[in-house]
Amino acid sequence: MKFEKNIKIIIPEKIFFQLQECSRNASPNESCGLIFGDIQELKNEEGYQYIYSAKKFECIKSSKPSPVAFLMDNLEKFNEIFEEAAKKFNLRLISIFHSHPGSAMPSGVDSNYMRMLYDWGDLRFKHQIWTIIDGKKKKLNGFLFLKDGIIQIDVKIQK
Ligand SMILES: [Zn+2]
């Protein structure tokens, strides 16, 4: 898988702990949630750099608890969270988070969802980083679906 160092998500340690807690509480099932923040586009000699900065995390109860999949389909709850993030905190969705019991790489199902959201008309879900944590090793990876497929991006935990 291609690694793109010019796309980066910065996760403050406090949020990283919240992701771990969310994952722990759902175990042995997969946990999921939404990360809000902002996205900066910077230009340097090599071209563009995209920095996603995490500011707020919402752990969401999976609608279909399972150790191999997650489902966020409560649209009413979604809209409530989106509205609060936008109006109260002036933040946008930057990442869809979920956990795996023993890997931090996208599964086949994840890849299909990533493609689906990319193709879907709702701009709130386009260009979202998929963050996946390995619940055991506490390893966090980030992925993005672009027109040529999935790429891995840089994840930085900030102390
Ligand atoms: Zn997955």
pLDDT value of position 46: 79
Model pTM? Answer: 0.93
3-state secondary structure of 31: coil
Q: What is the pLDDT of residues 98-141, one digit of tens each?
A: 999 889 999 999 999 999 888 887 777 778 999 999 999 999 99
Residue 107 Cα to ligand 1 midpoint, Å, equals 5
Under 8 Å between Cβ of 145 and 114: yes
Q: Is the predicted pLDDT of residue 73 greater than 90, yes or no?
A: no
| Closest C-alpha among 99, 5, 94 to residue 53 | 94
Question: Any idea how long the chain is?
Answer: 159
Token couple for 12? 């403050």
Q: Give distance in angstroms: CA of 20 to centre of ligand 1.
A: 15
Ligand 1 centroid – CA 111 distance (Å):
8
Predicted local distance difference test score (pLDDT) of residue 118 = 87
Ion ligand 1 nearby residues (CB, 5 A): 107, 110
Domain boundaries, position 97: 2-158
Q: What is the pLDDT of residue 69?
A: 84
Q: Is 19 exposed, middle or buried (0-12, 13-18, 19+ CB in 10 A)?
A: buried
| 111: number of Cβ within 10 Å | 16
What DSSP string describes the chain? Answer: -EEEEEEEEEEEHHHHHHHHHHHHHHTTSPPEEEEEEEEEEEEETTEEEEEEEEEEEEEE--SS--SS------HHHHHHHHHHHHHTT--EEEEEEEEESS--S--HHHHHHHHHHHHSS-GGGTTPEEEEEETTTTEEEEEEEETTEEEEEEEEEE-
Instruction: Give the Å distance between the CA of 89 and the centre of ligand 1.
Output: 28
CB 5 within 8 A of CB 142: no
Q: What is the mean pLDDT of the chain?
A: 92
Question: What pLDDT is attached to residue 110?
Answer: 94
User: How many independent structural domains does the chain possess?
Assistant: 1
**pLDDT band per the 50, 70, 90 thresholds, residue 23:** very high
pLDDT of residue 104: 97
Domain containing residue 68: CATH number? 3.40.140.10
CA atoms of 108 and 3, how far apart (whole Å):
19
